[in-house]
Structure 1
Amino acid sequence: MTQAQSKAQQPPQKQEHQPGSEAQMTPQPVYDNENYHGANKLLNKVALITGGDSGIGRAVAVFFAKEKADIAIVYLDEHEDAQKTKQLVEQQGRRCVTIAGDIGDEAFCKQAVERTIQEFGQLNILVNNAAEQHPQESIADITSEQLERTFRTNIFAQFYLVKAALPHLKSGSAIINTTSVTAYKGSPKLLDYATTKGAIVAFTRSLSQALIDKGIRVNGVAPGPIWTPLIPASFGPEKTASHGSNAPMERAGQPAEVAPSYVFLASEDSSYISGQILHPNGGEVVNG
């Protein structure tokens, strides 16, 4: 038995297309917690969630719906996953619209916000969650095309979406950006990805200061190793099988363990918090 096999958390698996399909994962990520009962914390609010079709984004959509928010989910092309998330939101008695496209394109980001306003008449919460990653053994292997693509999806899109959403966000609105533990620890084989995640931390802190006079709070969440479609879509079967084993809790987290952080930051529970990052990362101590 190899060391990787001894640390296996889930069966070895590999997906060839990013950002990956939740429907193809074994076991399925846990996106809900039956012991979580909503308390109308987001009653009649509207949230736009990028990467909302699967993984952390799906869990956030479900938890927001439990808190009585309506949801617009933006995703690339994982239509089966998106329809599943739509059904889950509607099972909570809330409305959900799905919007497919490339958030690396500023024009599409504007269209996504416009569609949300057309469907719901308002926008109160923006969750910039979608991301992609492409491991490479060396910086020499990162092409200019990969570098630009990773930056466009992970950080340019956050600028585009905030710019498009800002005219519709009123005092009391919230922006929540997904960064990563890699922004604090670094990651030798995810140089471009980790760099974008560091940029998101700086963006969150700076934007919070820029918007505080408008009454708009801006915060972030920096998950550790979470079991999402991005993992089998990024790594080989052996590494995927041991994903999360190096965390202090010695396991990968589940999306349902991350989603409550977003509920907290979206709701009035965090009314005196802006420019901060939460760290659901399995016990990794970072300077955040």
Structure 2
Amino acid sequence: MSDLSAIPPQHQTWPGSTSELEPAPDHGETSYVGKDRLVGKRALITGGDSGIGRATAIAFAKEGADVAIAYLPEEQADAEETQRHVEAAGRRCVLCPVDQRTEQANVELVSRAVHELGGLDVLINNAGFQMAHQALEDFPGEQVERTFATNVFATFWLTKAAAPHLGAGSSVINTTSIQAFQPSDRLIDYAATKAGLNNLTVNLAAELGPRGIRVNAVAPGPIWTPLIPSTFDGEKVDGFGSDTPLGRAGHPIEVATAFVYLASDEASYVSGTVLGVTGGKPVF
């Protein structure tokens, strides 16, 4: 893994590209070693083109799962790179370009994933949108709508569409954030959506538990992905993650391991919880 204790200033145009990140993040391409925790499982991972989504797809593949990854059409190049690593691990990777901001788009996404994979055992709601601003008055209305549609509405719609295809032993995992617990004044709308996802996770666990479906969330802290330099200016990126007790940002693969655990049979009695991967920042 590259050293993330001193990330230099940098900026990208949204949605950003993995290849332009300096230093390069670790998605487990060579570092992660699977232990057959997810053999035979079929997973749909949104935001699977880069960052946490890519690392999770790679880790799942190395654990024996086939995956479908959803991503915005403009992220095709990164998605194909994820596919290359999944297939190198000997598993299938179905590419699903989609904008999830309508209910119908999520219905169609589930339909395609189920058709291509032959069923569905794990749903990971990881796609997210954020954009930082200095003051409340700077937040455009259309941005707030996009943030909620991408982060909350799409998670609700996709889970609703997927639930009939999930059987006992299946798992839904949502990506929330340290922002739900320690919100930044530059990410007002984003932080609110992540707090909402924590609540949604608990409600869905109660709703789907009687069907044998577990619902949990992972709350990452500062993780080095294209989302960071594409939504903050260079000054804010400078030293990203150095304020954590561990003194650095996290690599995407360090979050993906939490998704592996929650999707595996090792977590068979874990539901309705939020697992923090924050470098020491408190999640409560």
TM-score interval (norm. to shorter): over 0.9
* 37-46 vs 91-100, which moves further: 37-46
Give the distance between the partners of 1:241 and 1:109, measured in 2 at CA: 36
**2:155 matched to which residue of 1?**
158
The answer to whether the 8 Å contact 2:35/2:63 transfers is yes
Equivalent residue in structure 2 for 1:212, among 206, 209, 212:
209
The gaps in structure 1 that reach 5 residues or longer are 1-6
- CA deviation after TM superposition for structure 1 residue 39, in Å: 2.1
SS at match of 2:94: strand
Give the distance between the partners of 2:253 and 2:6, measured in 1 at CA: 17
Matches within 5 A, 1:1-288: 9-18=6-15, 20-32=16-28, 34=30, 36-76=32-72, 77-287=74-284
**Which string of whole-angstrom CA distances, capped at 9 and with x for unpartnered residues, describes residues 250-287 of structure 1?**
11100011111000000001001100011110011231
Counterpart amino acid of residue 70 in structure 2 = V
| Count of aligned pairs | 280
Counterpart amino acid of residue 31 in structure 1 = H
Aligned identity (percent) is 49
**Which string of whole-angstrom CA distances, capped at 9 and with x for unpartnered residues, describes residues 114-150 of structure 1?**
1111111100000000101111111121122111110
SS at match of 2:277: coil
TM-score (norm 1): 0.94
Change (3 A) 1:27 1:35: closer
Give every structure 1 segment of 4 or more consecutive aligned residues whose post-TM-superposition deviation is greater than 4 Å: none
Give the distance between the partners of 1:23 and 1:34, measured in 2 at CA: 16
SS at match of 1:222: strand
- CA deviation after TM superposition for structure 1 residue 35, in Å: 5.3
- CA deviation after TM superposition for structure 1 residue 167, in Å: 1.2
SS at match of 2:184: coil
- CA deviation after TM superposition for structure 1 residue 8, in Å: 7.3
SS at match of 1:185: coil
CA root-mean-square deviation: 1.3
Give the distance between the partners of 2:182 and 2:7, measured in 1 at CA: 24
Counterpart amino acid of residue 275 in structure 2 = L
Give the distance between the partners of 2:47 and 2:30, measured in 1 at CA: 23
